[in-house]
Amino acid sequence: MDKAIKTLVVEGAKYTANSDLANASKCYAELLDLESKTAGNAINPDHVMLLASCLYQLGVEKNDMFGGGMDDSEGEDDDGQNEDWVSDDGQDDEDADNKDTEGKTDLNSTLYQFDQEEEDEDPTDGEDGDEQAAIDEEVYDGESELEQDNSDNENHDPEDDIDEEGLISYVDYLEGDHFQNTLELLQVARIIYMENCDTGNVDSVTKLKLSAIYDLLGDVDQEVEDFATAVEDYKQAIDYIKETDEFENENERESKILTTSLKLIEALRWLTDYSAFTKDKHKEILNSTQILLKKRIDTGSSMDKEDDEQQLKQIENDIEDLDDENAGSKKRKLEESIDTEALKKIILQKAMGFDFASSEESAKNVNDLSSMVFKKKKGKK
């Protein structure tokens, strides 16, 4: 059993190195099924992660090729049809003509219609007719059973594939939606990692593994356009990276944080609802990532300097856009809080150089001196 497990691990690694993800996934699925049947059902969560990673990459390849929305069976059928069409070329037309000719000469003189019984029967058939009817009935029953089996397969739920020991087969994860299956496998790996830790105490090694899980969860969320969840997953991954002590040096830790932060920023560019993520926090992430990216460029540690410089420019633009948006928001709030009539009166007071009553009520309190003014009487002529 141990030898078979080691063999599958090595084969899976070879297939992965050669980018043969389909066969690599098959090896890891068989490996996990084999582990689940060992004493104690000791599933290695690292192997679950390997299978999840392969399925995710297969899902990305499929999206790039077909634009999403097509399952494996449809893709295989289409490929097969295209290959036949290319390889046979004009031969198919010739074969079709021959088949049409043969079909016309071999047609039975008795015609059948759907949902109608045979109208004219030869009375001379006798026992031969009965035997033929029995054969037809048997063939019909066989076809009905086959159709029923196909219908059962179409409605088949992978979670129902449970062996005699009550264990779900990991090979079932090779079928269906790769991204959905990846999410389920990542949750399985996370649960196993946590179960292996002491209650309330996650060790440093486990934190590093959990960071990889949440990082891949974020990648899947972006592929399915669940950007709000992707942001939360990337944030969790960064938190675990900061907490673990498994990096050889601080530069290695910063490099890992930068990689995940760049993906977090990409998800934030698509985020429209800031109810769970404030813009101040957004700017904080942009600033911290900008510092790390500048450091990598300045120290010559960039694998692709041109790409890093483009990323840096984009981050600078994001910060400017965020500042402009915040400034516009503050301006709108200020305008809404100002009494425009009162503002006009203040401006007029400054322009005229004196104060005047700002309301009708205050105007009534002004001293009225008109009663002290007397008109001069006209003199007698």
pLDDT in tens, 111-122: 444 444 444 545
Confidence (pLDDT) at 126:
52
Confidence of residue 278 (pLDDT cuts 50, 70, 90): confident
Tens of pLDDT, residues 87-98: 444 444 444 444
Mean pLDDT of the chain: 76
Confidence (pLDDT) at 277:
74
Find the length of the chain.
Answer: 381
Tens of pLDDT, residues 174-221: 999 999 999 999 999 999 999 888 766 889 999 999 999 999 999 999
Residue range 12-20: average pLDDT? 96
Confidence (pLDDT) at 87:
41
Tens of pLDDT, residues 321-343: 988 876 655 545 555 555 566 66
Other C-beta atoms closer than 10 Å to the C-beta of 67 total: 8
Greater pLDDT, 380 or 303: 303
Tens of pLDDT, residues 30-41: 999 999 888 566
CA distance 44 to 275: 38
CA distance 119 to 112: 9
pLDDT of 56 > 70? The answer is yes
Greater pLDDT, 206 or 83: 206
CB 114 within 8 A of CB 121: no
Name 172's Cβ contacts closer than 8 Å, sequence gap at least 6.
Answer: 158, 159, 161
Residue range 20-32: average pLDDT? 96
Name 22's Cβ contacts closer than 8 Å, sequence gap at least 6.
Answer: 58
pTM of the model: 0.63
pLDDT of 50 > 60? The answer is yes
CA distance 240 to 204: 9
Q: Measuring CA to CA, how many Å separate 208 from each of 182, 211, 265, 295?
A: 19, 5, 21, 24
Greater pLDDT, 278 or 1: 278
CA distance 42 to 1: 13
Q: Measuring CA to CA, how many Å separate 221 from each of 225, 263, 264?
A: 6, 11, 11
Q: Measuring CA to CA, how many Å separate 235 from each of 93, 118, 159, 214?
A: 59, 72, 31, 9
Tens of pLDDT, residues 131-159: 555 555 554 555 555 455 445 545 544 44
Confidence of residue 274 (pLDDT cuts 50, 70, 90): low
